[in-house]
Structure 1
Amino acid sequence: MADLDINDVSMSFVDRSGKELRALDRISLTIEQSEFVCLIGHSGCGKSTLLNIMAGLLTPTSGAIRCSGAVVTGPGPERAMVFQSHALLPWMTCVENVYLAVKQAFRGASKSELMDRAEQALKLVHLEHAIGKYPFEISGGMKQRVGIARAFAVQPKVLLLDEPFGALDALTRSSLQDELVRFVETTKTTVVMVTHDLDEAIFLGDRIVALSNGPAARIGRIWKVGMARPRDRLKLTTDFERIKYRKEILELLYKKEPISSIGQLDAIAEVSSRIA
């Protein structure tokens, strides 16, 4: 049984004038157990909207999403989400923010066990030195790492990530990508991740799903990333398969001006790998 089954999902919003705007149009996608799926596309195409529907934070206008066979009607402990912003409670320390999540996920466990889970999650993202600090005492990147630790700590069946590494510097981002890979391999967690970083999608994903331009976005194309794991990020810089995937994705995103050479690809990549 698939961990996530997105069946003919559409989502519409009503603007101030009363006009209905369709953000997503009949999206269908099956995500298997332990699969890592990356969602890409231009800004405004509905990637985050689709992720919020998977999380149960939004109710689709039509269609349904099932998690392990059960219809998603709201948030649940089997699905953890990491937002673009850290979403930390400012009056709680880092470990208390993580503890609050594990307390809800593992009801009945002792306080010492829950606190140990929270501390271990912070150590996983290299924040053991910030366990007792408040959000205002740490940097923005560190706050985001606390949010990631909070999601790791509840050991969800499905992990939903909305550009979780976008605010981090390149070295920290690479380190946390590696930690995410190890976490997923250990726990067999299913992951759906929104990203604008094409290299990140190719490095992490089993499949890359591109949404068409909005409004009324649909699935434009799906790539199955055939590169074996574990993936070496240094070798990938010159890997032919990676270059091919990146070229094809860019050509889809820039349909009006297809890229005809690797030289053109490299010239555009610096800007295009983070489409806002």
Structure 2
Amino acid sequence: MADLEINDVSMSFVDRSGKGLLALDRISLAIEHSEFVCLIGHSGCGKSTLLNIVAGLLAPSKGTLLCAGAPISGPGPERAMVFQSHALLPWMTCYENVHIAVKQAFKGASQSELKDRAEQALKLVHLEHAINKYPFEVSGGMKQRVGIARAFAVEPKVLLLDEPFGALDALTKSSLQDELVRIVEKTRTTVVMVTHDIDEAIFLSDRIVALSNGPAARIGRIWEIDTARPRDRLKLATDAGSIHYRKEILEYLYKRERAPQDVAES
């Protein structure tokens, strides 16, 4: 059984004039346990909308979604989300920002168990030294580490990432990508990530799923990334397979940019 099943999901909105807009059109995708899938596509194609539907923050107009066989009808602890903005509560310490999520997810657990879960999550992202610091006292990359720790602390079946490294500098981004790979390999968590960074997608993914241009976006193309793990980002820069993936993905996106009336490939 797949950890996540998206079955014929469509999403419509009504604009200010009262006109209906079909954003997503019959999206179907099954994501297996411990698989890492990246969603790519041009801005406005509905990547984040699809992720928000999986998170339960939006209800689809049509179609069904299952997480570990159970219907998705709203947010739930089996799905954790990390946004591009760290979304930390500024009046709480790094520890308290993680603890509040753990307390919500594990109702009835003892205080000592909740404390241990929060501390272990921060250790997972190497933030033991910042446990009592407030968000304004740490760097942007460290804030994102706290957000990642908070997500993993609730032990989700599926981790949802919406461009979590998009606002970071290149070196910090690379460091956090490496940390994410390490944690995912340790926890065997299933991941769905939205990104505009093709190199990031190739480095992280088992599959890359491209959405066609919106409106009425559909799945346009899927690449199986069979590069062996662990992956070395320096070697990937000259690896023939990775260069081939990058060329194909760039060509796909470039052609779609020049074709406003996009039609998904079969």
Q: Specify if TM > 0.5.
A: yes
1:35 alignment partner in structure 2 = 35
Q: What does the per-residue CA deviation read over 1:72-107, in whole Å, with 9 as the maximum and x for residues that have no partner? A: 000111110001111111221111010011112222
Alignment of 1:30-69 (within 5 A): 30-69=30-69
Cα pair distance change 1:2/1:143, threshold 3 Å: same
Q: What does the per-residue CA deviation read over 1:100-126, in whole Å, with 9 as the maximum and x for residues that have no partner? A: 111122223222222222122223323
Q: 5+ unaligned residues in a row in structure 1: which ranges?
A: 259-276
Counterpart CA distance in 2 for 1:101 and 1:69 is 24
Partner SS state of residue 196, structure 2: coil
Q: What does the per-residue CA deviation read over 1:125-181, in whole Å, with 9 as the maximum and x for residues that have no partner? A: 232232112223333332222111111211111000001111222222222212211
Counterpart CA distance in 1 for 2:68 and 2:125 is 29
2:114 alignment partner in structure 1 = 114
1:98 alignment partner in structure 2 = 98
Q: Is the 8 A contact 1:122 1:131 kept in 2?
A: yes
Structure 1 stretch displaced more, 176-185 or 186-195: 176-185
1:4 alignment partner in structure 2 = 4
1:125 alignment partner in structure 2 = 125
Q: Report the TM-score, using the length of structure 1 for normalisation.
A: 0.89
Q: Is the 8 A contact 1:12 1:24 kept in 2?
A: yes
Q: What does the per-residue CA deviation read over 1:14-39, in whole Å, with 9 as the maximum and x for residues that have no partner? A: 11110111110110111111111000
2:253 alignment partner in structure 1 = 253
Report deviation, 1:203.
0.7
Identity of aligned residues (%): 83
Counterpart CA distance in 2 for 1:143 and 1:188 is 23
Report deviation, 1:228.
1.1
1:88 alignment partner in structure 2 = 88
How many residue pairs match? The answer is 258
Q: What does the per-residue CA deviation read over 1:21-65, in whole Å, with 9 as the maximum and x for residues that have no partner? A: 111011011111111100000111000000000000000000111
Counterpart CA distance in 1 for 2:204 and 2:24 is 25
Report deviation, 1:4.
0.7
Superposition CA RMSD, Å: 1.5
Q: What does the per-residue CA deviation read over 1:170-208, in whole Å, with 9 as the maximum and x for residues that have no partner? A: 222222212211222222111000011111100110000
Cα pair distance change 1:31/1:257, threshold 3 Å: closer
Alignment of 1:1-276 (within 5 A): 1-255=1-255
